[in-house]
Amino acid sequence: MSAATAFIRAEDLRKQYQLRRGLFGKGKTLHAVAGVDFEVPAGSTFGLVGESGSGKSTLARLLLAAEPASGGRLHVDGKPLSTGTARERKAFHRLVQPVLQDPYASLNPLMRIGDIVSEPMRIHGLAKGPALAARVAALLQSVGLTPSLAQRFPGELSGGQRQRVAIARALGLAPRALVLDEPVSALDVSIQAQILNLLKDIQRQQGLTYVLISHDLAVVAYMSSQIGVLYLGEFVELGSRDDIIRNPRHPYTRALMASSESRVESGAESGAAAVAEIPSPIALPPGCRFQSRCPHAAPRCREHKPALREVGREVGREVGQKVGPDAGPEAGAAHRVACHFDL
């Protein structure tokens, strides 16, 4: 994949938080995103999966220029986010818009739907008066809502309707990309598929680039052409959807897969990915970050940190065979795994 086709390109992107010194101890550094590299080709979906605390939302905020990175580089549409000035961030916001998990929290309950949807367009001075009202009506229709909902308040809508409003609001600036952070996690399973399919339709119609975040590998697998598995702020596995889903190589990816499958079978809402809990990103284990939970851990895993290395692919690589229904240039991205073993 050439850099020219990548709409979003992150290089060694990092975010650390300084935890304050206080009455009860010294200050500490928390590495929320500890150096990630990836590219998202224009018009494709990059799925980001990992359990709670792995750094997904922090990475989302960096991609949205909502927070400055502590290190590394971010390019969107070939342009670097460098100075971090308000003006530069505003230009980035035109290109990349957020859709967040909980529309209860992300939609102001005191504002009417029409005002919520029109607010970004007003802030950016894109339209006003009757033209703005017409644009809001068209946006509501584009997400399957009737324009008369513009007069209602978020509390009068169902969860699915509210997430459609959040999508309409995000589309108002005619962005080129959406960062979707757990966009269906707060919704009933039956509604989840409707919203995911709506997002797919919108992507097809508008050629949007998506970064889709979920703790649920099934959601990511349904939507994405490339998948990155994040663990304690780093990728432990990265590749095309088929590489990750049909040939997962990292024990953590396999644990996520097993948890996703057992959840589907039992109908439970959440499941722990592996036996022990995720370690704190303040006190990182030496060696491999996953060794404290890994069924294959050996002495060298405790001493040496495995690099993210390219692995061979056995799946769907016969001559002329397409890899998955959406196989495009992105299907050529390398399959990389950070593990000492060839599992």
Ligand X SMILES: Nc1ncnc2c1ncn2[C@@H]1O[C@H](COP(=O)(O)OP(=O)(O)O)[C@@H](O)[C@H]1O
Q: Quick one: 167 exposed, middle or buried, by C-beta within 10 A (0-12, 13-18, 19+)?
A: buried
Nearest approach in angstroms of CB 281 to ligand X is 5
Query: Quick one: DSSP state of residue 335?
Result: P
Crossing angle (nearest 10°) for helices 129-142 and 113-123 = 120
Residue closer to Mg ion (CB basis): 57 or 225: 57
Q: Which amino acid does the sequence have at 163?
A: Q
> From CA 330, how far away is CA 39, in angstroms rounded?
9
Task: Yes or no: say if 48 and 236 are a contact pair by the CB < 8 Å rule.
Answer: no
Binds 281, which of ligand X, Mg ion, none (CB < 5 to 8 A, cut-off by type)?
ligand X
Q: Does 57 bind Mg ion (CB under 5 A)?
A: yes
Could you tell which of Mg ion, ligand X, none binds residue 58, using a CB distance below 5 to 8 A set by kind? ligand X
161 interacts with ligand X by CB under 6 A: no
The interface region with ligand X, picked from 34-42, 55-63, 121-129, 201-209 by CB under 6 A, is: 55-63
The nearest distance, CB 33 to ligand X, in angstroms, is 7
Kindly tell me which of 57 and 209 has the beta carbon lying closer to Mg ion: 57
- When asked if residue 106 is in the footprint of ligand X (CB under 6 A), the reply is no
Residue ranges of alpha helices (H) inside the chain are 56-63, 86-95, 103-106, 113-123, 129-142, 159-171, 189-206, 217-223, 241-246, 251-266, 299-303
Please report, to the nearest 10 degrees, the dihedral formed by the alpha carbons of residues 32, 37, 42, 45 taken in order: -50
47 binds ligand X (CB under 6 A): no
Neighbours of 129 (CB within 10 A): 7
Question: Does residue 98 bind ligand X (CB under 6 A)?
Answer: no
> Of Mg ion, ligand X, none, which one does residue 249 interact with (CB within 5 to 8 Å by kind)?
none
CA dihedral (59, 64, 70, 73) in degrees, to 10, reads 100
Q: Is 259 in the site for ligand X (CB under 6 A)?
A: no
Query: Closer CB to ligand X, residue 63 or residue 139?
Result: 63
Residue 228 in contact with ligand X, rule: CB under 6 A: no
Residue numbers at the binding site for ligand X (CB under 6 A): 17, 30, 32, 50, 52-58, 281
